[in-house]
Every structure is written in structure tokens, then in C-alpha cells.
Amino acid sequence: MNTIINGLNINYIDEGQGPLLVMLHGWGSNIDLFAGVISFAKVKYHVVAMDMPGFGKSDEPAEPMNVDAYVDFVLSFVKELYPEEKEIIFLGHSMGGRIIIKLASGIHDGRIKTDFSIPKIILTDSAGVLPVRTKAQNSRTKRYKFYKNLITRTGIVKLFPGALDRLQKKFGSADYAAASPVMRKSLVMNVNEDCTPYMPSVTQPTLLIWGDRDTATPLSDGKKMEELMPEAGLAVIEGAGHYTFLDNPYLYNRILGSFLGI
């Protein structure tokens, strides 16, 4: 299905009946990866998932989007398609969790004003805790800044316009290298925002589902969220990585079903 939100063509899925459950995917992902969770949850819930701007089959934004911009997008999406809903449960993976944390906390450009309440949230291998940088990462960043300054100061960038792009790809993450210029800036703004100050304000019953082998958002992040969110509980799936719902769908759905009464 498709709709226009803020001038962008957005691809989304709308299945099932019951209380509204909105799913937000992670960076570099799309709604197709939620297929198993959607199939499970739609038995008792009205499940909606969208490819966010710049991902999947949705349009890329004209300007970079930070966390606040993605929160605004989610609110616009809900207001456009489901204006009568008074309660919405949110489930987010990775970056989608970061967006939900800010939305559920009620802190966004001052205070978020919504026409609906959020009775429960589910955060799966969620982003939001800034990682502690290692010496190797700091060294890599210093090398990148050195070479960037060198090719800029010496005029190499003007002679070879693609030099800076190749440098950024060399020193950036795989997600960064694969992204367009607009989405690279979006990635930087999103991963550099620390959401821990908002977590104590997330007072809804919150289910945290984590893989103990997650290296993108390590289990320590889940433990930190459980500590900071007053009503959060952490469920750990052994042997699973950053995509717990793909690595062990049976156990993931059992945990989710217990929380949602499925």
C-alpha cells in the first residue's frame, strides 16, 4: 500500500483487526523483515508498518532527517491514516526504538502533543544508548579528520571531487558507505543523539527484547534501558544477534505474545 506523507510517497502494510500496533524498522532495513512478526501479531492486533523515508520502497527525503524529524514523520503518518485512534502500541527495532523512546517520553521540541495515548511499547535490540568509543575507534576518527583536512587544505578536493566521498566510504561504517549523501547526514545525526536523558520519562509498561550476541546495540544497552525506564522488563534471547525476531522467531513471538496477550 502507498500513501503521501509530507510530500513523500510512503510504502506501508496494514493488516489485521484490533488495537493498533505500529512497527518501526531499524536503519538500513524495511518492513519486509517484520513479515513474521506481523503474521503473528495480526491475529489479535491491527498491525501497521511503514518503510520510513529513505528506506525500502519509500521516497528519500530532500533534506537530512534527525530523530525529531522521524518522530514528526510518524506523528504525521498516524494523523493522516488513523486520526480516530485513541491508543497506539509501538514496536521498534534498532533505530525504530530510538524514535519510539523520544515519542513515548513526551519530550520532543519541548513537549509532544498527540491525540492518542501509548499504553505499551516494545523495544527490540533498540538504539538510543551512545556506545563507549574504543581506542581503535578514536584513532580511526583522528586519521579520518587528518586526511579530510589534508585533501581540503591542499585543494585536492577541487581537483578530484570524488576524493572526499571515497575517504568517507573508507572510514565510515557499512551503513554509511551504502547510503546516499542525504541519508549519510541523517545517519550521523541519528546515531550521535543520546536518548538516555529521555528514558526515565518513558513510564509506559515496556518490553525490551535483546539478543545476547548483539554487537550493533549490545546487551549492555538493554540493561541500561531497563535500569532507566521505570516500567521496563528485559527478556534476553540466547544465541541471537541484532535481529532477534529473525534469529529465533519462535521464542521472540512467544515473549511478544505473552506481553500483548496473544
Mean pLDDT of the chain: 88
Q: Where are the alpha helices (DSSP H) in the chain?
A: 35-41, 67-81, 95-105, 135-153, 156-159, 163-171, 174-178, 181-191, 219-228, 244-247, 249-260
Q: Does residue 140 share a domain with residue 105?
A: no
Q: Which of 201, 202, 199, 210 is nearest to 251 (CA)?
A: 210
Q: Does residue 147 share a domain with residue 23?
A: no
Q: Does residue 220 share a domain with residue 124?
A: yes
Q: Does residue 12 share a domain with residue 108?
A: yes
Contact 25, 6 (CB under 8 A): no
Predicted confidence at residue 187, as pLDDT, reads 86
Predicted confidence at residue 184, as pLDDT, reads 85
Q: Does residue 30 share a domain with residue 17?
A: yes
Average pLDDT by stretches of 10, the chain with 262 residues: 96 97 95 96 98 96 95 95 95 97 78 80 96 57 55 64 59 60 88 94 96 95 98 98 97 98 96
- Domain CATH for 13: 3.40.50.1820
Contact 105, 201 (CB under 8 A): yes
Predicted confidence at residue 106, as pLDDT, reads 83
Helix (H/G/I), strand (E/B), else coil: 121: strand
Q: How many domains does the chain have?
A: 2
Q: Does residue 126 share a domain with residue 28?
A: yes
Q: Does residue 144 share a domain with residue 28?
A: no
Q: Does residue 90 share a domain with residue 10?
A: yes
Q: Among 172, 188, 204, give the residue marking a domain's end.
A: 188
Predicted confidence at residue 75, as pLDDT, reads 95
Helix or strand run (H / E) with residue 12 = strand 8-15
Predicted confidence at residue 235, as pLDDT, reads 98
- Can you tell me the distance from the alpha carbon of 81 to that of 233, in angstroms, rounded to the nearest whole number? 31
Helix (H/G/I), strand (E/B), else coil: 86: coil
Q: Does residue 126 share a domain with residue 147?
A: no
Q: Among 188, 203, 233, give the residue marking a domain's end.
A: 188
- Can you tell me the distance from the alpha carbon of 29 to that of 96, in angstroms, rounded to the nearest whole number? 10
Q: Which of 43, 104, 94 is nearest to 74 (CA)?
A: 104
**pLDDT tens figures, 10-49:** 999 999 999 999 999 999 899 999 999 999 999 999 999 9
- List CB contacts of 49: < 8 A, sequence separation 6 or more: 12, 13, 22, 23, 24, 25, 31, 34, 38
Domain that holds residue 139: 135-188
Predicted confidence at residue 188, as pLDDT, reads 85
Q: Does residue 207 share a domain with residue 164?
A: no
Q: Does residue 118 share a domain with residue 47?
A: yes
Helix (H/G/I), strand (E/B), else coil: 11: strand
Q: Does residue 141 share a domain with residue 64?
A: no
- Can you tell me the distance from the alpha carbon of 76 to that of 98, in angstroms, rounded to the nearest whole number? 17
**pLDDT tens figures, 182-212:** 988 898 899 889 999 999 999 999 999 999 9
